[in-house]
Structure 1
Amino acid sequence: MIGAAGAALLAANGGLVMAQDAPTSLLPPGFGNPSPSPTAAPAPAPSPSSPEVQRSPVPSQGGAVVQPIPSQPNEASPAPAPSPPSTDIPDDLLDRLPSAAELENLSTDELDELLGLRPKFDIPPAARRSLTRVGVTGTDAGGLPSQTFAGQSPELVSAILTGIREPLVSRWGHILLRRALTSRLAAPQEMDPVQFAALRAGVLNRIGEFVPARSLVQSVDAGEWNAAMTDVAIDAYVGTADLIGICPAVTLQGTSREDAQWRMLQSICNAFAGEETRAQTDLQRLMRGGNAERIDALLAQRYAGAAGRSRRAVNVEWDGVETLTPFRYALAVAVGDEIPEGLVEGAGPYYQRVAARAPMLPAEQRLAGASLAAKEGILSSQALIDLYAQAYAFGLTDEGATQTAQTLRNAYVASAPAARMEALRTIWTSDAVGIVDDSYARFVLTAYAAARLPVSPAFAQDAGSLIAAMLSAGLDRNAIAWSDVVDDGSQAWMLLAAGAPGDRSVSSGDVDSFLDEDGSAAQRRSKFAVAALAGLGRLDEGDAADFAERLQMTLGGDTKWVRLIQQAAATDNRGMVILLAALGMQGESWERMTPRHLFHIVRSLDQVGLNAEARMIAAEAIARA
């Protein structure tokens, strides 16, 4: 009896202990264990017709009973246990794994590549930009509509963009092409948008427009770049001496390239990512191994050293360096290292274009390439004036540039109009000024000063230069004010006949007088004038044919380029007309331009609503012939 009572008491106490040891949830119902369901009502007694339910035996106190699971009719058999995964290893896997020694020699980028840790994007998914339209210039700023090339043949567009390999002879053609290439455009159907953007950026690089090219490639996320986009992006960043800008692509693409320039860029980017020691070690290894030119590796070390705190001195020596490369020039400009004068003087026009737009260079060095950049359309008239304003404000060792700055100031602020006119003449004609390589750059420099001069018969003899200067900057409204001063048949009259706005027509007698007075070589100015007036529709077709025969030139002809630009103009495809016009205006000087090309370019631009640009190109051809 005592044993049975003790057992019952232990059983009760055991249950009490178990209840006390169980953790108590502080969460409301529904956040922890489910709340106990309410006690069900007693089931009614089974009817005689229902099957008898097997009741479980009631356990006695202190005894544990296992509840049997009732079998269900037609119960499916349990599913077989899954088989363990296969542990078979491919035969070539072990052969492809690097050895311990190879792992020690792998760089961080190579190790990330091996382990699949290299990032694919540098921008979160929500912040990535669409490729539906790529570009930076909207229609409100003169850009083309986004669907301009959407329905064009991708092969034809690619062929035209690839075919534009040189800068254009026309300043206004250059400006028009730059505006078209930087527009927010959709790619032609069945063409990769990234490839389309790469082709456009490549053209911008080839015509010296590295800053717009950089802006264009930056409008595409670096994770979307292909090999072609990476190549043109490097050219753009090198052309602007902005080597850090390429780092997102260098980081994402890792070891996709093994050339010396790429590896130096990797080291520079690593330094600015906080790994300066590694960067310096890699650059020294490149130099000692002969994989990179010594001068390039030293300049890269100085560039990378600017990112850290070590302030390690790098002695850059130019002794024995006989050539200048774009990458070498960009490194030197970025770190402020002085390049030997002999290397820069014979380096070529590329470096003049880069220097003109490099803000880190002093004004004196920028002015060395400013005239070329201005006449080509890279620099605006206002930008060129600003450079000479810096020369006047800070003073330069170049006496020619300093004198030009002082003379330009006189052209603006001299009290008497005659004194201002004399200052303009000095800039246009004197060999002592800083701009000596091209007279058209002098017109660009003096455009706004010429527009400020009051219209007077006393300056009629200079009207041709005044009008040419104003039209070089697009100041056609100011130029037309001189219409009553110029003599019919003069060069000033012809510039207004081609460049003035509005519906105009010219008489054959005045054109005949212009031809008689033309003293240009092989009458190139007369040929361009007739072609331009005919293209603008300001000269009667019969008269144009007579003058063309007199000048022994042809305005017609059937070539593939002529057919394409005529077809584009007939369908009002402004974008294709611009690209084809640029294709026909490539060259180093206007000697490469033919009257037939000028006629079709001016005519097609006018047909698609680009009358202002057509007029400026026509007037420029006459002024620069």
Structure 2
Amino acid sequence: MPTKLLLIASAAAILALPALAQQTAPQQPAQTIAPTAALPSASTPDNSTDAGDESAVEEVSNLNLGPPSPPVEYPGWARHDPWTVGPLAPRDAGLGDDAWGSASGAFLSTLMRRMHTPIASRWAHIALRNALLAKLHAPVGVNPVDWAAERAWLLLRLGEADGARMLVAGVDTDRFTPKMVQVAVQSALANADPSALCPLEDGIKKYDAGIQRLVPAMCASLAGQPDAASAMIDQARRYGRIGGVDLVLAEKVVGAGANGRSTTIEWDPVDSLTSWRFGLATGTGVVPPDRLLNGASTQLRAFQARAPLLSPQQRLPSAMVAAGLGVFSSQTMIDLYSAIYDSTDPSDLPNTDAWQLRQAFVGKDIDTRMSAIRKLLASGKGGLQKEAARALVARAATFIPPDPKLAKDAPELIAAMLAGGYDQAAARWIPVVNGMDNEDADRCWAMLALGAPNIADVGTGRINSFIRRDISKDRVRSALLVAGLAGLGRISTDTANSLNQRYGLSLGHVTSWTRMIDAAAARGQGATVLVLTGTGFQTPLFGRVPSAHLYHAVTALNRTGQGFTARMIAAEALSRT
């Protein structure tokens, strides 16, 4: 089943083109102009550097840099069609060729631009990313290049640096709009690739005055013009409006070029990481202090997780965040731990997480493997880290045979397998769960009733028993369970209505959002449904997702041929609350 296989492996496939990571999410873009780079404001320079004046622009421009290179001419066969930008075939994303349908591009752009990230569901994140990367014809009523920019901008805010880079690369630079220029700058910084700013120099001069003095200096150095680069940096230091660590980091990039100019970066006065600081530091192999990383957004942590100049061990803490979000797949985490294992001295391996992961797969017996899995699951301290730990051990959990003696471990084993998309392996535990009769049994049954490909016992008696024993606040777990079962069609509408009225589960709440996603599903607009699902899940905690939102999202996904995604999201709702 290609849809399911891609959803499980897509993160690895995309991350393999170097993995992923962001920052304090760059500030939201204006309605018609895309996000400006999240750089130090031109009007509020770093206190450690004197502000300059506008004459710096003329002085730098008067340097003897030689004649400009002739413009690149694209042969016809090499040009990209701006109307169909994307590296992923729609079918591989589980979508039809007309997944946007007749939806308004301007309306979809507004939805994407206003979406707060991260969203509650790891599986919704994965499916939304795939939809944004799909090579679908741009919807009506939108400039196709701006449409690609909006998709890339949302990917960046989701922490998907590589996905954004691929969309930006899918548009010929001579067709870049102001919005695409600004998103391309953010993409270059998110990917820690200062050289990617160089094709944007002309656009940066027009639309991003804050960095227009520094980008030419970095690019001149990378192009083997050290004297010109040094002169530009010196002029920027004397007259520019950007100073302090932001200027020093640009000088660091210049030093990485032909002149080998040495710099010392002082992080003590810095109180936050911007995309500029992250991109230039990481692009030169510099790791910001932990205090700055710990205070950074989840998007920036996901950016750092895929930074190629950092060692696997340096990337690991951020990789846990990326895996929890859905940026990294289960297989990507296994690959990262394998790299750490290979680079660790054998005498230091015992009791490391890399060693525990190896034991989880190849331990001499079930007890050894289960002990390792328990330790790895315990390393997830909650939230994203806990979900990352589940994704990490997901495949190892599939090799544990169902056994009533492991009933206490069953909830986490099942949650881990579903986090990795191993629904059939999780379903093998149904007979064991049917023999359990405690709170662990309720947890396991609820996840399997929603996530298993074959329907578990979902009789009204079993559901009522679950609800009566539910001790979650406002019976949120019961509401999400019934919402998921009804959305998947595993209980009838009459049964859902009866349970809703009896227990006050708020499934019947109707809003403009519920009407929009229902209408998109009725029209078969699978990609539109995914954008609306992200809009309906704008909270970092699943417990805050209204049960009506889960019901309508799961229903819409199921109706548009995305049943696997619908099941995984519904099961995730119960595993994370």
Compute the TM-score of the two structures, normalised by the length of structure 1: 0.77
Aligned ranges 1:158-169 → 2 under 5 Å: 158-169=109-120
Structure 2 counterpart of 1:465: 412
Matched, 1:142 2:96: no
Unaligned ranges ≥5, structure 2:
1-54, 436-440
Distance 1:111 1:245 in 2: 20
User: Structure 1 residue 145: deviation in Å?
Assistant: 4.0
Alignment of 1:58-73 (within 5 A): none
Deviation at 1:292, TM superposition (A): 1.2
Residues 400 and 434, structure 1, Cα contact 8 Å, conserved in 2: no
Matched, 1:198 2:126: no
- How much does 1:282 deviate? 1.0
| CA drift at 1:409 | 1.9
Alpha-carbon deviation of 1:542?
2.6
Question: What's 2:537 paired with?
Answer: 585
Deviations 1:369-414 (A, max 9, x none): 22221111001011112222233332399x9996322222221111
Q: Tell me the percent identity.
A: 35
Does 2:82 correspond to 1:131? yes
Q: Is 253-262 or 157-166 further displaced after alignment?
A: 253-262
Distance 1:509 1:380 in 2: 37
Cα distance change of structure 1 residues 346 and 165 upon mapping to structure 2, 3 Å threshold: closer
Q: How large is the RMSD of aligned CA atoms in angstroms? A: 2.8
Letter matched to residue 383 of structure 1: T
| Distance change (3 Å), C-alpha of 1:341 and 1:427 | closer
In structure 2, what is the equivalent of residue 19 of structure 1? none
Aligned residue among 538, 554, 569 for 1:602: 554
Amino acid at match of 2:131: A
Q: Which deviations, in whole Å up to 9, do the C-alpha atoms of 1:316-366 show, x marking residues without a partner?
A: 333433332221122111112343333333334333222212122122221
Matched letter for residue 241 of structure 2? N
Q: Equivalent residue for 1:9?
A: none
Map Cα deviations across residues 108-161 of structure 1 (whole Å, 9 max, x no partner).
69999xx9x786655345532222311111135326444433632233222222
* 1:508-527 alignment runs, 5 A limit: 508-527=460-479
Larger radius of gyration: 1
CA distance in 2, matches of 1:104, 1:556: 64
Task: Output aligned runs, 1:262-277, within 5 Å.
Answer: 262-277=212-227
| 1:542 and 2:494 aligned | yes
Residue 175 of structure 2 corresponds to 224
Q: For 1:4-43, what aligned pairs fall within 5 Å after superposition? A: none
Aligned partner of 1:13 in structure 2 is: none
Higher RCO structure (Cα 8 Å, ≥6 apart) = 2
User: Which amino acid in 2 is paired with 1:580?
Assistant: L
Q: How does 1:359-438 map to 2 (within 5 A)?
A: 359-395=308-344, 403-429=352-378, 433=379, 438=385
Deviations 1:1-48 (A, max 9, x none): xxxxxxxxxxxxxxxxxxxxxxxxxxxxxxxxxxxxxxxxxxxxxxxx
The letter for the 2-side match of 1:210 is A
Pairing 1:3-402 to 2, within 5 Å after superposition: 105=59, 107=61, 121=72, 123-142=74-93, 144-149=95-100, 151-250=102-201, 252-253=202-203, 255-257=205-207, 259-308=209-258, 310-395=259-344
**One-letter code of the match for 2:153?**
G
8 A Cα contact 1:222 1:248, kept in partner? yes
CA distance in 2, matches of 1:178, 1:230: 21
1:479 corresponds in structure 2 to 426
**Structure 2 residue identity aligned to 1:444:** A
Partner of residue 530, structure 1:
482
Q: Does the Cα contact within 8 Å between 1:435 and 1:441 map onto a contact in 2?
A: no
Assess, with a 3 A threshold, how the Cα gap between structure 1 residues 359 and 517 changes in structure 2: closer, same or farther.
farther
AA at the equivalent of 1:501:
P
Q: Distance between the aligned counterparts of 1:378 and 1:261, measured in 2?
A: 29
Equivalent position of 2:52 in the other structure: none
Q: Which amino acid aligns with 1:154?
A: G
Task: Specify whether residues 434 and 578 from structure 1 end up closer, same or farther in structure 2 by C-alpha distance, changes over 3 A only.
Answer: closer
What aligned pairs does 1:564-583 form with structure 2 within 5 A after superposition? 564-583=516-535
Q: Is the CA contact (8 Å cut-off) linking 1:463 and 1:492 kept in structure 2? A: yes
> How far is 1:515 from its partner?
1.8
Residues 160, 462 of structure 1: CA spacing in aligned structure 2 closer, same or farther, 3 A cutoff? same
The answer on whether the counterparts of 2:128 and 2:530 sit within 8 Å (CA) in structure 1 is yes
The alpha-carbon distance between structure 1 residues 110 and 162, as it changes in their structure 2 partners (threshold 3 A), is farther
Structure 1 residue runs without a partner (length 5+): 1-100
Amino acid at match of 1:491: R
Give the CA deviation at 1:574.
0.9
1:572 is paired with a residue whose SS is: coil
Give the TM-score taking structure 2 as reference length: 0.83
How far has the Cα of 1:434 moved from its partner? 6.7
Shift of 1:529: 0.7
